[in-house]
Amino acid sequence: MEYLVSIYVKKGYSTPYNRVNNPEYFKYPVWSLFGQQDNPGQEERLNFRPLFRPKTIAVVGVSLTNDRHPANVIYNKLHLRYPVKVYPVNPKGGKIQRDTVYPNIAEIPVKIDLAVIAARSKYALDILSDCIKNNVGGGVVISGGFAETGNHELQDKMVAAAREASFPFIGPNCLGIYSPALFDTFFLPGERLVRPQTGKIAIVSQSGGVLVDLMVKFAEQGIGISLALSIGNKAMIRELDLLNYLRKDPRTDVIAFYVEGFEKNEGHDFVQAAARSSKPVIVLKAGKSEEGGRAVSSHTASLAGDYKVFSEVLAQYGIVEARNEFELVSFCESLSCYRKTIEGKIGIITVSGGHGALSVDACVAQGLTVPVLFSDTRDKIKEKLSSSIKNIASLRNPIDLTGSATDDDFVAVAKILSQVMEVDCLLLLLLPYSPGITADLGARLSYVCQREGKPLVAYVPHVEKYRMLIEGFQLNHVPVSASIEGAVLMAEAMRRCQPC
């Protein structure tokens, strides 16, 4: 029998994966709250490669007169910016900028891997049927006007036809897929879309707006992504299917979800699959309040469900829950760099007593500890410090090296803290305007922590003037936040997430 967490949960506590089926920790059967269901997802039965690695794309619904039509924005972007062959489709045929517009999928002279459907909803079922008849690999239905507006019958007919033909599609009512350097189905002008660099984090979101906002935040933080998916009404391809796919995707190390709701019985399978994942899974859930639940239902026709129960289950299964976008970004960056669990004993190194005090408050608020260092550890640190700060630095924890500290002082302290048992994670608060700090410090500290195996997270103001210092960390897979709170959350992510 599968077991579910006791509802009497200590706040912020998460258990190791090997306790998932241990009755000592889990008292109630999973299906008692989520509904019993054993569904491995559709991904095992469908070929997702045409969705995510297409070589040919048809954009259906392009306008011959309105270049700002969503289909035209998608077509122009694919045609000019990406290494895929793209073909415009409109029943009238004709030309767009000297390119042939095909009246239907059947007349395109090559096999199409992916069809992007951006026509009115009343035409969507016929277009999807044409895709199936012509052996298109998969689809993205950008169009709205389905279940989110009460038009369940049309959406159900599309799903029935797609399932019968094993034709995978994303949407409807979505932005679709962004794959860095490969293709982009978002109907957002290329010059306005902020694109994170290529990385190892996949983001799956019911909301296109939330997804685009997260991409902006990732880019600001210098965090790379492997894939970004806006799934809208998720009529056919759902979170569980994408989780099962991304768990096996060699380009992805961390999987993040923005979830508005699940259908009846669906939450159980998602949690079970996430708990089995060898990759960290991070969930941001909307619809926490009754009012939020109503907003979710009107947005993508989802059932918000019992948030309290869902949150408790995530915590007990070692699945990291982000309470907001800020936490999600910090958690993603941290877990893409480190695949280990910490108890949460933080050693803080700073040049500012005020920053140290603020970071202690932030740690305590998250349930992390900042232990006072043993006297022999303090003696070792003092012995290694430069003569100019040896007698003025505060060494109890936080370690305040003062504004006179040099790179060598930081490196010496980091080396000692990386070797003692009193702390299991280092939090570095760097103010680059201190005169003794150079642009090489990030790389030097990263090397120390890599050699000793103890995780390091850093706070550095994210401005262009300090870019070289920040890159010294990031290029060596050390997460860097633009705020103290963000850096603390990076440590908290390792406490919540279990080893992979």
Task: Provide the residue-wise pLDDT of the chain in tens; the chain has 500 residues.
Answer: 222 332 223 333 333 333 333 333 333 333 333 443 444 556 567 999 999 999 999 999 999 999 999 999 999 999 999 999 999 999 999 999 889 999 999 999 999 999 999 999 999 999 999 999 999 999 999 999 999 999 999 999 999 999 999 999 999 999 999 999 999 999 998 888 899 999 999 999 999 999 999 999 999 998 999 999 999 999 999 999 999 999 999 999 999 999 998 887 788 889 999 999 999 999 999 977 555 445 544 444 444 457 888 888 888 888 999 999 999 999 999 999 998 889 999 999 999 999 999 999 999 999 999 999 999 999 999 999 999 999 999 999 999 999 999 999 999 999 999 999 999 999 999 988 889 999 999 999 999 999 999 999 999 998 888 899 999 999 999 999 999 999 999 999 999 886 44
Instruction: Please list the residues that pair with 115 across neighbouring strands.
Output: 58, 139
pLDDT of residue 290: 59
pLDDT of residue 188: 92
**Cα–Cα–Cα angle for 466, 472, 475, nearest 5°?**
125
Q: What six digits make up the tokens of 470?
A: 């920040």
> Domain 339-496 belongs to what architecture?
3-Layer(aba) Sandwich (3.40)
Do 49-336 and 339-496 have matching folds?
yes
For residue 41, what pLDDT is reported?
56
Q: Where are the beta strands (DSSP E) in 85-175?
A: 85-89, 94-96, 99-101, 114-117, 138-141, 169-170
User: How high is the pLDDT of residue 102?
Assistant: 98
Name the amino acid, one letter, at 445: L
Q: What pLDDT score does 139 carry? A: 98
pLDDT of residue 191: 86
Question: Rounded distance, CA 363 to CA 461, Å?
Answer: 19
| Residue 158 phi, psi (nearest 5) | -65, -45
Q: Nearest 5°: phi and psi at 127?
A: -65, -45
Report the CATH number of the 49-336 domain. Answer: 3.40.50.261
Nearest partner of 248 among 452, 83, 41, 108, judged by Cα? 41
* Domain chopping of the chain, boundaries: 49-336, 339-496
HSE of 473 in the Cβ direction (CA atoms, 13 Å)?
29
Distance CA 362, CA 459 (A): 13
What's the CA gap between 387 and 100, in Å, rounded?
75
d(CA 290, CA 306): 10
What separation, in Å, do the N-terminal and C-terminal C-alpha atoms of the chain show?
A: 24
Query: For the whole model, what pTM was predicted?
Result: 0.86
pLDDT at 25: 35
The tens digit of pLDDT for each residue in 92-114 reads 999 998 899 999 999 999 999 99
Which residues, including other chains, have CB under 8 Å from residue 422's CB and lie 6 or more apart? 345, 347, 371, 373, 374, 377
CB-based contact 373:395 (threshold 8 Å) = yes
SS (H, E, C) 348-414: EEECCHHHHHHHHHHHHHHCCECCCCCHHHHHHHHHHCCCCCCCCCECCCCEECCCCCCHHHHHHHH
Helix, strand, or coil (residue 116): strand
- Which two structure tokens, joined as six digits, stand for 224? 């790379």
